[in-house]
Amino acid sequence: AISLCISAGQAWRGAVLQGWKLLHYLPRDDPNSPLETTGNPSRDLWKWCALGIANNVAENIHYRATIGILIGHLASTLPACQGSWEDLLWAHLRVQIEARVDKFLHEHHATVDANTTPADVLELLQSELQVEELSLQQVFSAVKALMDGKRESLYQTCQSHLMLGHIRTIMQDSLQWLDSAEEQFIRFLAHLILVLRQMGKDPLHDVGDKILEKYVIQLIDRLSDGSVDCPELIAYYTSTVPVARQYVIYAELMDHVHKSDYRQGVVRAGLNAGVDVSASARVAIKKAITDIQQGYGNLDLTFTQTTAVEKDKTLIPKVISSLEWLSLISNQLEEALWLSNAMIR
């Protein structure tokens, strides 16, 4: 922004934008060398002058907001933030931080040798720029009141709960969101659960398992042509759910991958992720056998040989194809033979 002001021939505007910087003593190697400083030694005086710009309704709304946020003047900032939950939240928090910094500096005013702010200017500034200190919960309430009844998104709800440390609330609400939330939000929740577990903050582990399982099933359901481009991704997320559910979920993946060229990759990815691929393959095969048994167990008197042949074309090849999974695992060839005999019977 400063470079833009200078390039536009308005260097004075760029100077105004630099006045917020705190006075800072630079480190020195030689203790006898003179002190060098950076920042603004007359920061309070600059803030008082900048307050005049922020209060000037004739100025551009965005310029007023820029100056206002730098000096901690919320009223001049809000018009440029209307309708945006993120902007309103940032503005409130930025002003709260600025107020606390100023409070600390003013409390230590007498001990700061380089503070050149006259006492009358300091008193005038404090009288014209008063900010009520708010808790984080009060900040969120203030932001909500400024949204004109607009409902916050699920992402924003999670963000507020995270900032407030209400992890359990997120987990409890997630159960209600799972059935109706869009796929991208389920993806967000799954990764949030993984991060929380890395941090050791997962108060409702069973809820986290349901979210992760929902996301893995979501990934599998996207497979429509019998292939899978990145089995490592699905295998990794499968490994994050309880072991008993890993067999069923990975068997579901196997059921979706019909093309032989991709099956070895699925087996390899599962083994690398620590999934019991052999158990998953057996579940997939038994599911295929069960489908045949159910398909022929519900026949009625009108069932003809022609329709039986049509059913054979879909069910039987699927069962035979499912045996390929065990053949891809070196120590499961005997199991594959046993299941083949079971199918024939």
The domain limits of the chain are 2-25+36-145, 243-345
pTM of this structure: 0.80
Task: State residue 297's pLDDT score.
Answer: 54
Interacting residues of 339 by C-beta distance below 8 A, sequence separation 6+: 282, 285, 286, 289, 323, 326
- Structural contact between residues 75 and 68, judged by C-beta atoms closer than 8 angstroms: yes
Task: State residue 121's pLDDT score.
Answer: 73
- Structural contact between residues 187 and 177, judged by C-beta atoms closer than 8 angstroms: no
Instruction: Please compute, for residue 253, the number of CA atoms within 13 A of its CA located in the half-sphere on the CB side.
Output: 36
Task: State residue 114's pLDDT score.
Answer: 47
Show the CA angle centred on residue 214, arms to residues 209 and 216, nearest 5°: 95
Give average pLDDT by consecutive 10-residue segment, the chain, 345 residues: 90 88 83 83 86 92 94 94 95 94 76 61 77 94 92 94 94 91 95 94 90 96 89 96 94 90 91 92 82 57 44 61 74 65 62
Q: How far apart are CA 315 and CA 336, in angstroms?
A: 18
Show the CA angle centred on residue 211, arms to residues 206 and 212, nearest 5°: 95
Whole-number Cα distances in Å, 97 to 90, 93, 133: 11, 6, 9
- Structural contact between residues 220 and 284, judged by C-beta atoms closer than 8 angstroms: no
Whole-number Cα distances in Å, 318 to 46, 256, 291, 297: 78, 11, 10, 18
